[in-house]
Amino acid sequence: MDVAVEQTIRERIEMEKARTAPPADAIAVPLIPATRYTNPDFFELEMQQIFHRNWLFAGHESEWAEPGAYQLFTRSGAPIVIVRGQDNVLRAFYNSCRHRGAPVTRDVCGVAKRLTCQYHSWSYDTQGRLKAVPDSRSFVDLDTDELALVPVRCEVWQGWVFVNEDSEADSLVDFLGPICEQMLDINGPGMRRVGRQIHRVEANWKLMVDAFL
């Protein structure tokens, strides 16, 4: 961490310890209605405006260690599959066959050369291109180039993998802003995932965020 940044953090910690009233520049915040945490319509609005339009952390690139490695990502509410192509590039697609919309994989993770829908066996390569259509003679003017899996933006920064459903959103680096410089010392590319712990909480997502503000 940069020395100046570290010093700033230390100074702010000491200020927090010393103060006996709200900071001079504190803004009066109105009370938040409890329904913001319980109303399903408001939650749906949050999903559309926050989770579908921002960069969401999906994992570390070491989790896709080889070409063909894939994982499902559902935290945005949409079915997304993230896969490392045979060209070693990480990509994300909606987990939905272009024929009838069935999933192209039902497994949470795995390694495969093709992603194949179990409904009618349409098959896609790891770059999302449609490669096999059983009984293709029954389709008139079938253009496989137009029927690739629908892509989702996927970017990697310092080994950390993010996805974003908004095609017009800022780049990941612009979104992270000053955090990039602050996290350089973590050495993300040198890390490897060794395990995972999942704790499911029956509560609105904001309660978990509030706990760490």
Instruction: Spell out the residues 6+ positions from residue 55 whose beta carbon is closer than 8 angstroms to its own.
Output: 155, 162, 163, 164, 169, 172, 175, 176
Give me the residue spans of the domains in the chain.
Answer: 55-191
Per-residue pLDDT at 197 exceeds 90: no
Q: Rounded to an integer, what distance in angstroms lies between the CA atom of residue 156 and that of residue 177?
A: 15
- Which structure tokens are listed for 192? 């490897």
Output the pLDDT for position 199.
Answer: 86
Confidence at residue 1, expressed as pLDDT on a 0 to 100 scale: 60
Residue 47 pLDDT: 95
Is CATH 3.40.50.2000 the right assignment for the domain spanning 55-191? no
What average pLDDT score do residues 91-103 get?
A: 96
Q: Tell me the two tokens of residue 122.
A: 């349409």
pLDDT digits (tens, 9 = 90+) for 132-182: 898 877 777 788 889 999 999 999 999 999 999 999 999 999 999 998 888
Tens of pLDDT, residue by residue over 3-52, are 888 888 999 899 889 888 888 888 888 899 999 999 999 999 999 999 99
Model confidence pLDDT, tens digit, residues 99-140? 999 999 999 999 999 999 999 999 999 999 999 898 877 777
How high is the pLDDT of residue 85?
Answer: 97
pTM of the model: 0.83
C-alpha 196/C-alpha 17 separation (Å) is: 35
Task: Express each pLDDT in 62-72 by its tens digit.
Answer: 999 999 999 99
More confident residue, 124 or 201: 124
**CB-based contact 134:118 (threshold 8 Å):** no
CA–CA gap between residue 119 and residue 138 (Å, rounded): 16
